[in-house]
Amino acid sequence: MQTTQDAPAEILFKLWPWLEANKTKIIAVAGAIVVVVGIYYFMASQREENEIAAGSALSQLLMAAPSPNVNPADALAKLAEKYPGTAAAQRAQLASAASLFGASKYPEAAAAFQKFIDSNSSSLLTATALLGLGASQEAQNKLDEAGAAYQRVAASYSGNPSALPALCGLGRVAEAQGKLKEALDRYEAAARAGGAGGSMAQEAAVRAAELRAKLAAAPQATAPAMKPATTVPTVAPATVPAAK
């Protein structure tokens, strides 16, 4: 009876003619595998070195003393272009947009935030970019556009810390549009999302309380029976809160 120990030898004996006939192909395939593996590790090493260099450059740029000859937004944008595909480039691109917002260049900031969203849709920073886009549009009194950006955050990142400022933004937009009941709902949702702590959640709770009192004190207008309205009521536009 053939023992188990003989099985590998028998298999090798049967395969030997095939191995002899195809040894050139086998050597070629093995060589190709070695080359592919070598390229993979080389590229991985290059990416790691690129990430380190990008992170170091970003840190130096952020810590550098302000200079009248250097535009922070431009410098950050150039850094992002120099190190594409790195995490530092994403942070630099977002910081560039935020710098434009801080300089009250709201149209430029909105374009920069939108560019980040378009090119980094799967990034963990996309929610922050959407908030920046909403704030930039809100600062220009483009309330519908701002509400759309905030709504994307509230709907897609409900478990993310970004949901709280998005709900507050939706509350401000609705309030500015005269939609007080909707604004109240948004502020109450923001207060719940923030729990008991946090100044933003507390501010949302205070605003919700003020709106509840305002709605309760408002006179309840009733239309005459069997007579349709002939004019559309208008609401005076509210001032957009200053960007913080």
Q: From first to last of its 244 residues, what are the pLDDT tens digits of the chain?
A: 445 556 666 665 666 676 566 667 656 655 555 444 444 333 444 456 767 776 777 777 677 666 677 788 888 888 888 888 888 889 989 999 999 999 999 999 999 999 999 998 888 899 999 999 999 999 999 999 999 999 999 999 988 889 999 999 999 999 999 999 999 999 999 999 876 558 899 999 999 999 999 999 877 543 343 344 443 333 343 344 444 4
Is residue 93 within 8 A of residue 115, CB to CB? The reply is yes
Length of the chain: 244
- Does an H or E element contain 45, and which? helix 23-63
Is residue 124 within 8 A of residue 108, CB to CB? The reply is no
Close Cβ partners of 196 (under 8 Å, ≥ 6 residues apart): none
Number of H helices, E strands in the chain: 10, 0
Q: Rounded to two decimals, what is the model's pTM?
A: 0.68
- Give the whole-angstrom CA distance, residue 22 versus residue 17: 9
Is residue 166 within 8 A of residue 154, CB to CB? The reply is yes
Q: What angle do CA 159, 130, 78 make, to 5 degrees?
A: 125
What is residue 5's DSSP assignment? T
